[in-house]
């Protein structure tokens, strides 16, 4: 085995020993069950590790990752993970987490051909095309970041309209879905202000989120724009392309 793989096992043994020393019984309690409160749906990108970013330990977050954090209506892999998380684990929060500088989003933005993944990334191109007017109105350097956020909003909706969520909410289960974006450049998570819990009409929440994204990235100072814009603004009169 190569030296670098040997390193991984060495680190693993050290980590296991350190955990057991600091918190005796940690692993034996994990064996019995996992009771995570959170499900993370994120990008496969190695710079976006769910547990490390959120300070969560083994047993605390149920994770599904794929290229560019896409939830497709017919993706049995994602849907099975969501069903297990909601019906069996009873997670209380599902976060869909995009990240700035995402290669999948960038490829979709540029229409670049990268191989088999073109067919997967086509889903983001659909998002791009749906919001083409808005994206073209933004400064060119802001468009990929805006599309990253629009993709998150879109995937939050896709989770929310899945049979798993519709059934869970109809049975009164308390579980909400949130849209976040992670900055590889600063290590910080942004809450995009799109949280869905089955009570409010998702159409309004989605439109308000799209409005905020447009406002944020068209403003001269994105950071100030984010702070100035309160969450929960349902006004959607100027969204040109409702889903
Ligand atoms: Co990515």
pTM of the full predicted structure? 0.88
In order of 17, 46, 80, 178, the CA distances from 76 in angstroms are: 37, 23, 6, 21
Count the neighbouring beta carbons within 10 Å of the beta carbon of residue 28: 9
Domain 34-226 top-level CATH class: alpha beta
Q: Of residues 64, 75, 99, 123, which has the active-site annotation?
A: 99
Predicted confidence at residue 221, as pLDDT, reads 56
Separation of 143 CA from ligand 1 center, angstroms?
Answer: 15
> Order of strands, edge to edge, in the sheet holding 93-99?
61-66, 38-43, 93-99, 176-182, 189-196
| pLDDT tens digit sequence for 204-235 | 999 999 999 999 999 755 554 454 444 444 44
Catalytic annotation present for 102: yes
Catalytic annotation present for 148: no
| pLDDT tens digit sequence for 28-58 | 988 887 899 999 999 999 999 999 999 999 9
Predicted confidence at residue 34, as pLDDT, reads 83
Catalytic annotation present for 93: no
| pLDDT tens digit sequence for 52-65 | 999 999 999 999 99
Q: E strands within 27-113?
A: 38-43, 61-66, 93-99
Q: Of residues 13, 23, 47, 132, which has the active-site annotation?
A: 47
Q: What is the residue extent of each domain of the chain? A: 1-32, 34-226
Q: What percent of the chain has pLDDT above 70?
A: 89
Separation of 33 CA from ligand 1 center, angstroms?
Answer: 31
């Amino acid at each position: 085995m190569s030296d670098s793989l040997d390193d991984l096992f060495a680190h693993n043994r050290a980590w296991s020993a350190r955990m057991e020393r600091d918190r005796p019984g940690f692993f034996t309690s994990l064996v019995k069950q996992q009771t995570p409160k959170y499900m993370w749906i994120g990008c496969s990108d190695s710079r976006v590790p769910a547990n490390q970013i959120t300070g969560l330990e083994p047993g605390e977050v149920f994770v599904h990752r794929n290229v560019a954090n896409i939830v497709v209506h017919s993706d049995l892999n994602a849907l099975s993970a969501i069903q297990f998380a909601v019906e069996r684990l009873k997670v209380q929060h599902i976060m869909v987490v995009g990240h700035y500088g995402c290669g999948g989003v960038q490829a979709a933005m540029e229409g670049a051909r990268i191989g088999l993944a073109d067919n997967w990334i086509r889903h983001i191109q659909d998002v791009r095309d749906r919001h083409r007017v808005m994206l073209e109105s933004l400064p060119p350097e802001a468009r990929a970041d805006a599309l990253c956020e629009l993709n998150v909003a879109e995937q939050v909706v896709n989770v929310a309209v899945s049979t798993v969520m519709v059934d869970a909410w109809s049975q009164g289960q308390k579980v909400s879905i949130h849209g976040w974006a992670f900055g590889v450049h600063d290590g910080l998570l942004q809450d995009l202000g799109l949280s869905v819990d089955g009570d409010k009409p998702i159409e309004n929440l989605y439109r308000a989120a799209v409005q905020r994204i447009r406002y944020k990235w068209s403003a001269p100072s994105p950071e100030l724009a984010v702070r100035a814009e309160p969450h929960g603004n349902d006004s959607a009169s100027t969204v040109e392309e409702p889903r």
